[in-house]
């Protein structure tokens, strides 16, 4: 998919279950750090009545990360180029996460 550098499916605690990476990314490190960060802000998200969150998007100057919770059991973490088109992370990745959710059910 245009703009996607790779994907990692992690358990809810960030440990990799499956991955497809196109570049040198440490999936264990990124998975644990990002899922822990989401866990740290979960209470605040619920307090603001923004729950359930369907997708988190973290963007910096050079890269973006999409985190999509899958039935409270896992995350689909996608490593994106910073200029990835919105349709990719908003539509295509959420569709892929929905297919993965059916595997967990």
pLDDT tens per residue across span 20-45: 986 778 888 889 999 999 989 988 99
Handedness of CA 102, 31, 65, 23 (dihedral sign): negative
Mean pLDDT of 80-84: 88
pLDDT of residue 92: 86
**Longest CA–CA separation in the chain, Å:** 38
For the entire predicted model, the pTM comes to 0.87
For the cut 70, the answer to whether the pLDDT of residue 105 exceeds it is: no
- The dihedral region occupied by 42, where left means phi > 0, alpha psi between -120 and 50, and beta the remainder, is alpha
Average pLDDT, the chain: 88
CATH for 4-104 is 3.30.450.30
pLDDT at 9 over 90: yes
Q: Tell me if residue 17 falls in helix, strand or coil.
A: strand
What is the pLDDT at residue 96? 86
For the chain, give every domain's residue range.
4-104
């Amino acid at each position: 998919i245009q703009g996607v550098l790779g994907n990692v499916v992690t358990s809810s605690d960030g440990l990799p279950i499956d991955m497809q990476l196109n570049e040198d990314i440490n999936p264990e490190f990124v998975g644990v750090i990002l899922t822990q960060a989401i866990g740290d802000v979960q209470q605040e998200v619920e307090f603001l009545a923004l729950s359930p969150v369907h997708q988190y998007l973290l963007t910096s100057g050079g890269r973006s990360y999409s985190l999509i919770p899958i039935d409270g059991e896992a995350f689909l973490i996608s490593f994106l180029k910073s200029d990835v088109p919105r349709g990719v992370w908003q539509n295509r990745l959420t569709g892929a996460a929905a297919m993965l959710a059916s595997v967990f059910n």
